[in-house]
Amino acid sequence: MADLRARVDRALEEFVDGEISELLALDPELSPVADQLRLSVTGGKRVRPAFCYWGWRAAGQPDTDAVVRAAAALELVHAAAIVHDDVIDCSPLRRGGPSAQERLGEALAIMVGDLLVVWAGQMFHASGLPRSFLGRVLPLWTAMGRELVAGECLELLRTGAEPDVGRSLTIVRFKTGSYTVERPLQIGAMLGGATAATLDALAAYARPLGEAFQLRDDLRGVFGDPARTGKSLLDDLAGRKPTALLALTLAEACELDRRRLRDLLAGPLAPDGAAEIREIMLRCKAPHRVRQMIDERADAARAALAGTRPPPEAADALTRLICEVTSDD
């Protein structure tokens, strides 16, 4: 896993260096934008490229630098999503430093995110894989983008509405699960010529795992260590994000806590108000229930993987990825 991340990092660095040179050749005044583009791609666990790569290997294909480059392109999709998400949420922090919109302002940050989307497509198609391979995954790439945008839109449409666990899980699946686990894994497998049966089995592994990934992220957004998450603990609560965590809290809290929670969410949220919300969540055991939901989905992914019978190295890697995207570490 560490070796794969290092190779993805090298592929991204080489690609970004070339694209930034082209950008600055247009006009040196674009230097602040170029700096932010580089920062936006720096860091992260490279989870999406890992799922794509091991989807390829699960289809029985050998290791190649070309598939690493194709997989690395998915990290640019993620970088774009982060930039746009921070604009939507007015988040001042990302990965422990100023977000793109904090550094450049909202308008330029949107442009940075847009260019990262363009770069993703360019890097994928310039990966060196045969054109026939790339062409057969175009519908999956398109579906990934459609679902990512749909999830973000649904979250915006549901923000401030009465929280509902079922609706929250729909948002989770589209906004994060699809482009983090399911589509990268399917793209890798289809690039590798996987059979329909293998694709179906991998989907059964990926769908619950993608939900588990976002449920864990929701927990970290409220109870995590900002030094590790790189984001403020106020963001999700102040933004009234329609998470399963919030929906479960409102469903399980006593009437007094429920009224107090609604009062706190009705106005501007200060750190002491956020601390009070966390206390209410803990009292009604909503975080424990979310953790149970994560564990249930991790178990479902393990069960699905057991029925796929991929090559041993791919099976081991996909098993390790379950732990990586669902553990509390």
CATH number at residue 231: 1.10.600.10
Write the DSSP symbol of residue 62: P
Q: Which domain holds residue 245?
A: 2-326
Instruction: Walk along the chain (329 residues) and give the pLDDT tens digit of each residue.
Output: 789 999 999 999 999 999 999 999 999 999 999 999 999 999 888 999 999 999 999 999 999 999 999 999 999 999 999 999 999 988 888 877 899 999 999 999 999 999 999 999 999 999 999 999 999 999 999 999 999 999 999 988 988 788 888 888 888 888 888 899 999 999 999 999 998 888 888 999 999 999 999 899 889 989 888 877 777 777 778 778 888 999 999 999 999 999 999 899 888 888 899 899 999 999 999 999 999 999 999 999 999 998 778 899 999 999 999 999 998 76
Cβ–Cβ contacts within 10 Å for residue 240, how many? 16
Task: Give alpha helix (H) positions in the chain.
Answer: 2-26, 31-41, 47-58, 65-89, 100-104, 106-125, 131-136, 138-158, 165-172, 183-191, 196-223, 226-229, 235-238, 244-252, 255-266, 271-283, 286-306, 312-326
Rounded to whole angstroms, how far apart are CA atoms 127 and 123? 6
Instruction: Give the CA count within 13 Å in the CB-facing half-sphere of 222.
Output: 30
Model confidence, pTM = 0.92
Q: How many domains does the chain have?
A: 1
